[in-house]
Amino acid sequence: TQLLEQSPQFLSIQEGENLTVYCNSSSVFSSLQWYRQEPGEGPVLLVTVVTGGEVKKLKRLTFQFGDARKDSSLHITAAQPGDTGLYLCAGLYNFNKFYFGSGTKLNVKP
């Protein structure tokens, strides 16, 4: 059973376009993290959100945690080829264990 569902699974866009990736669950999470993973490497943490409704910005990336702490979104403005990678959300459940979503594979074409 996948605790966290990510959509879309795949996204191929042109440089300069905007995009949003979603991470949804029926469960409540203590906190939620977003990671980016490049081929042949481990995931690298981008951000942690803790409070329901919290919004964090990291340059062109905007992360939002849902009010009920069950879902999150990642918005990228003016995507660049360097943003290409696998984006993973991970929810901390019961302050105990991180569950990862299945990932969104993003390809930004120059």
- Is residue 1 at the binding interface for other proteins, with CB under 8 A as the rule? no
- Nearest partner of 87 among 29, 8, 14, 1, judged by Cα: 8
Residue 15 near other proteins by CB under 8 A: no
DSSP string, 65-80: E-TTSSEEEEEESS--
Query: What is the contact mask toward other proteins in residues 16 to 55, using x (rule: CB under 8 A)?
Result: --------------xx-x------xxxxxx--x-x-----
The three-state secondary structure class of 39 is coil
Neighbours of 67 (CB within 10 A): 11
Beta partners for residue 56, in sequence order = 63
Site string for other proteins, 82-101 (x = CB under 8 A): ------x-x-x--xxxxxxx
Q: Which is nearer to other proteins, 14 or 95 (CB)?
A: 95
Which residues are near other proteins by CB under 8 A?
A: 4, 6, 30-31, 33, 40-45, 48, 50, 88, 90, 92, 95-103, 105
